[in-house]
Amino acid sequence: MRTICFYFQVHQPFRLKPYRFFEIGDDHDYWDDYSNRNIMNKVAKKCYLPMNQLLLELIRKYDGKFKVCFSLSGTVLDQMEAYAPEVLHSFQELVATGHVELLNETYGHSLCALKSETEFKDMVSLHQEKIQHHFNGYKPKVFRNTELIYSDEIGAMVAKMGFDGILSEGAKHILGWKSPNFVYVNSIEPKLKVLLKNFRLSDDIAFRFGEKTWTDYPLTTDKFIGWLNQVPQEDEVINLFMDYETFGEHQWKETGIFEFMKDLPGAIFQQTNFSFSTPSEVIANASPVGQINVPTPISWADEERDLTAWLGNDLQDEAFDRLFELENMVKRCDDPEIYKDWRYLQTSDHFYYMCTKFFSDGDIHAYFSPYESPYEAFINYMNVLSDFILRLKQAEKAKA
């Protein structure tokens, strides 16, 4: 078996509006509807709609031999419902071909697996309901945690929820001499299969494609095919995992990214012995080669491939801890609006904006942040959280 597994993360957060201290207690509307709508429509035009159409044409052209998979966060699905129903329809059309797999994840694109198993299960159930609602009862078999965050314990929780497999990062410090181009199993629950991202080949497309200072620029189809053919023949699966916004948003149309993707499947069929598979097909057809031991959580972010993009500095940890101190209060109050805001406040992007890293990773964080500084992101978030706490206390008092 020699196959390629394309996985695309599709996510947009609900961004907070500028929320000042003196608004606490008076304004319970936290979300920047103008920015969220505009960004969704911009990305829809530049990425989602043209790329979905391209993938649909490729699936039809190759009679289903070309396959991909998506993980659509609950927050992006909510935004598609509100701002861009034509985008949601285009994803439904792709899934209806039978050659596109959907993955389960946390509804709010949350870091809750690191804090609360109960909330983690609730978030996964909410996301599954959302997928079933929009995609004709579809029930995902494979899981993708927020930002590919994975550890032995997280994998064990996912296995208990009945999933066959999980996606994660092929981090060097975890793999050592091992290759990411095989199927592994969770070290606690071996029934859970683990697919690991080939970060070099994935990032050549996702991050380096349009970088003119890269020594291998420009990345042509022939060059990429050459790299694939250099992969040892015994390697079974090349997992190409990336943000879907790579196409047209992070890598602009002018870089040639759409033409590259249009030509790639045909070149792979003609010039290599690779096929295309979805994660479920990889899990079904490839035998695991052993356990992967991940005692400390890994992710697909930054050079370290750890959690420091979201957690670790004083700002991030204070905000994250304060948020999850409220879990029991939120669930006792049983208010749909409060619970919705609670889910959206968990979205990992809020903590990403508070990252204080420097150099190349810091530049990436600054690119995605709507704030002038991590400190501004923290203050804005904590102002919102202060109001949210007041609402919770008022809801508890009303129930008493």
CA distances from 302 to 157, 236, 264, 336, 358 (A): 25, 26, 27, 35, 11
User: What is the spatial distance between Cα 174 and Cα 191, in angstroms, rounded to a whole number?
Assistant: 20
CA distances from 293 to 121, 144, 150, 151, 191 (A): 23, 18, 10, 8, 14
Q: Is 103 left (phi over 0), alpha (psi -120 to 50) or beta?
A: beta
Q: Are β-strands 237-243 and 183-186 bridged in parallel, bridged antiparallel, or unpaired? A: unpaired
CA distances from 198 to 201, 274, 384 (A): 6, 15, 39
Active-site positions?
147
Q: Strands (DSSP E) along 250-328, which ranges? A: 251-252, 275-276, 291-292
For residues 171 and 298, the answer to whether their CB atoms sit within 8 Å is yes
DSSP 347: B
